Structure 1
Amino acid sequence: MRKSLLIISRQAPWSGPGAREALDIALAGGAFDLPIGMLFLDDGVFQLTAAQQPKTLQQKDLSANLQALPMFGVESLYASARSLQERGLAENPLTLAAEPLDDAALAALIDRYDQVITL
Structure 2
Amino acid sequence: MKSMLIISRQAPWSGPGAREALDIALAGGAFDLPLGLLFLDDGVFQLPTAQQPTALQQKDLTANLQALPLFGVESLYVSARSLEERGLAPTALGLAVEVLDDAALTALIDRYDQVLTL
TM over 0.5: yes
Q: How far apart, CA to CA, are the structure 2 residues paired with 1:22 and 1:78?
A: 14
Q: Structure 1: how far apart are the matches of 2:88 and 2:4?
A: 26
Q: CA deviation at 1:93?
A: 2.2
Number of residue pairs matched by the alignment: 118
What's 1:81 paired with?
Answer: 80
Match of 2:69 in 1: 70
1:118 counterpart letter in structure 2: T
Aligned residues: percent identity? Answer: 83
TM-score (norm. length: structure 2): 0.98
Q: Which residue matches 2:106?
A: 107
Offset of 1:91 from its aligned partner? 5.0
CA RMSD of aligned residues (A): 0.8
- Amino acid paired to 1:49: P
Residues 25/91 of structure 1: CA separation in 2 closer, same or farther (3 Å cut) = closer
**Is the Cα contact below 8 Å between 2:90 and 2:99 reproduced in 1?**
no
On the 8 A contact 1:7/1:39 being kept in 2, the answer is: yes
1:54 and 2:53 are equivalent in the alignment? yes
| Cα distance in 2 for residues equivalent to 1:112 and 1:8 | 14
List gaps (5 residues or longer) in structure 2. Answer: none
Task: Name the amino acid aligned to 2:58.
Answer: Q
Report the Cα offset of residue 90 of structure 1: 2.3
- Structure 2 distance, partners of 1:20, 1:72, is 16
